[in-house]
Every structure is written in structure tokens, then in C-alpha cells.
Amino acid sequence: SYKTFDFDWAPGFRLGLGYNMAHDQWDTRARYTWFQAKARATAGGPVTPAFLGARLGGIEPFSSGKGSLDLLYHMFDWDLGKAFYVSQALSLRLAVGLKGGWIAQKLNTSWKKLDHPGGPVSATEDLRQHFSCGGPKGGVTGQWWFLRKDQSSFGLIGMLEAGYLLGHWSIKDKYTDTLNVTARVLTNDRNFGALVLYSFIGLGWELNFNQDRNHFALRCGYEIEDWLNQCQFFTDTSGSQSNDLSFQGTNLRLTLDF
């Protein structure tokens, strides 16, 4: 069995700017998203590392091990969209645009072998993946305002978005121990398509004021973003991985138009 990392919740933020054009319900928006997450895990022996670098040291199984997995997310989005009003209460916004940024993942592990013939041995493995990407995206947003009173509206909001980006992966793996052994796993940089899917569902409240010249909106809901085949770490048993990286959680959004 494998000991896995379990991520707890962590806050992030998203900043954006937009411009509503005077002609035919066109608008453009740009935003930046930042997120950081950390996970920790420990295991008692006998323990065999899952990644190739520590296996090359040749002294496993270890008596104990611990690890930390850090993730840093920077992403930029821009889109051009047009709203269509199906009815007075229902509207759709179709948009196309660009998405790009980078995701850094760092896995640090440390190991101890207390029953080595030459005495206790300590070892560390530093595994890093840097992923950068950029390319086109498109999506649709739907709004259904089922409660309206005076200048305010309350309703359901949903969003679906997909992007197919050019991705670049750089992976490094280094193992060292107190027996003066150093092992490096050399992996060529990789370039291929990266598919990302995004969805949001939630509730929204909007208010027009200042004789409808200004607009305030509050949205709260649940979002999921899935990067297909993003995790390309190299393990000792099955080689290069092609696992998804998924983010999910509560999204709270405040918007002011002026």
C-alpha cells in the first residue's frame, strides 16, 4: 500500500478587471489567480520510497520516512465575450480567450535507516516539477434570475470552460544520503498539449444603483478546475505518470462596475 498526501483547505485569491463595451453587449475581462497549498505525511518502517531517486541509493527499505508536498499556482486569463438574453430572467454569455501561467510542485522527503550494518543512515530526496502553459480557451456562463425586486436580483449562476494549451514540463529528482551517495534522475523536458476544464455553480445577488450607472454583484458557489495529465512525476515502478491535478472549493466573488 502507498502512503499518500492529504491536502487541507487553503485560501487563494483572484483579481480581475473588465470593460463593458457600449455596442451590442460585448465585454472583455482579464484576471489573475494565485493559490498555494501544502501537505505533510509520515510513515513507519519498513518503508520503500515510491520515486526512483531514493531507490537508486540501494539501501531501502528504510526504518521511517516523512515528506512534504508544496504546490504554487499562478494563472492569467483573458476573454472576450458577448451576452445573449434568452428571456428577461435568463441570459447566456459566450466567450473565447487566452489562458496561461505556471504551476510549481515540490516534493521533499527524508528517510532514516537505523539497522544499516555501518550504522544509522539518513537520506533525502528532492523532487520538483515546473509546469508552464499558454493557449486558447472558450466557455459559456448562464444566469437565471428567479427573484427580482426594485434594483436587485437573486438567482442561479453556472459556468463551463475548457482550454487546450501548449504545456512545458521540467522535472528534477535528486537523492543524497550520509554514505556520500548522490543520485540524479535525468528527465528530458516535455512539450505537449494540456487540456484544462473548469466549472462553477452557485448563487448570485446583484444590485444596480446611482440611476443604473453602477452595479454591484456578490457570488458564492463551488468551483472545480481539472488539469488532465498534468502530474508527470517519474516513479520507480511504472515510470512517467500522467495523473490529473484537480482544484476544488468554495468561490466567493465581489464585483463592482463603475
pLDDT in single tens digits along all 258 residues of the chain = 677 788 889 999 999 999 988 888 899 999 999 999 999 988 887 888 777 666 666 777 888 989 999 999 999 999 999 999 999 899 999 999 999 999 999 999 998 988 888 889 899 999 999 999 999 999 999 999 999 988 899 999 999 999 999 999 999 989 898 888 888 888 889 999 999 999 999 999 999 998 878 889 999 999 999 999 998 887 765 566 788 999 999 999 999 988
For 52: left if phi > 0, alpha if psi spans -120 to 50, otherwise beta; the answer is alpha
Cis, peptide link before residue 61, omega less than 30° from 0: yes
What is the rounded distance in angstroms from the CA atom of residue 90 to the CA atom of residue 87? 5
The domain ranges of the chain are: 23-257
Q: What is the pLDDT of residue 44?
A: 85
- The DSSP code sequence of 23-53 is STTEEEEEEEEEEEEEEEEEEEEEE--SBHH
Distance CA 242, CA 230 (A): 6
Please provide the size of the chain in residues. Answer: 258
Grid coordinates representing 29?
475581462
Rounded to whole angstroms, the Cα distance separating 97 from 84 reads 18
Helix (H, G, I), strand (E, B) or coil at 154: strand
Q: In this predicted structure, what is the pLDDT of residue 56?
A: 66
pLDDT digits (tens, 9 = 90+) for 52-104: 666 666 777 888 989 999 999 999 999 999 999 999 899 999 999 999 999 99
